[in-house]
């Protein structure tokens, strides 16, 4: 797995079946290696799901249990709720990847400390695009 998933990807995948975030999460979870995440991401996902009226407490608890069973949590520093950029860069570094999958408009097409932020649409397109032919 060459990316880590931002909280918005998990939340959008939880509510928008068939959407690019949901397809990206299915692809990530279908990989033999579990995706890496952090406590900060899991807290943001739970908080965001709880803010949605269609997600009752039992549904949030069930969804979080499902997600926790599909990921490996890696250690990072503690971050404030608004520290998306810093927390996601730290997660990518702890996971040993150089990209974060997010559709957060404030983060797209940015990079920080060698970590690139990529949209679910672009990442999915990469997954199905064959590599270029070798140079002769």
Residue 34 lies in a domain: yes
Query: In this structure, what CATH number is given to the domain that contains residue 88?
Result: 3.40.50.1010
Would you put residue 78 in left (φ > 0), alpha (ψ -120 to 50) or beta?
beta
Domain span at residue 97 reads 4-128
Burial of 13 (0-12, 13-18, 19+ CB in 10 A): buried
Instruction: Provide the residue-wise pLDDT of the chain in tens; the chain has 136 residues.
Output: 789 999 999 999 999 989 999 999 998 888 888 999 999 999 999 999 999 988 898 999 999 999 999 999 999 999 999 999 999 999 999 999 999 999 999 999 888 999 999 999 999 998 888 878 888 7
- Give domain status of residue 136, yes or no: no
Taking the model in full, what pTM does it have? Answer: 0.90
Number of structural domains the chain divides into: 1
């Amino acid at each position: 797995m060459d990316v880590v998933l931002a909280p918005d990807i998990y939340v959008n995948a939880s509510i928008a079946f068939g959407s690019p975030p949901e397809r990206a999460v299915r692809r990530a979870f279908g990989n033999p290696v579990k995706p890496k995440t952090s406590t900060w991401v899991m807290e943001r996902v739970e908080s965001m799901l709880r803010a949605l009226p269609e997600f009752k407490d039992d549904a949030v608890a069930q969804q979080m249990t499902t997600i926790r069973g599909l990921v490996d949590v890696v250690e990072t520093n503690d971050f404030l709720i608004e520290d998306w950029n810093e927390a996601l860069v730290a997660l990518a570094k702890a996971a040993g990847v150089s990209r974060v999958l997010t559709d957060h408009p404030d983060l797209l097409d940015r990079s920080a400390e060698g970590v690139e932020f990529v949209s679910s649409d672009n990442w999915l397109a990469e997954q199905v695009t064959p590599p270029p032919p070798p140079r002769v």
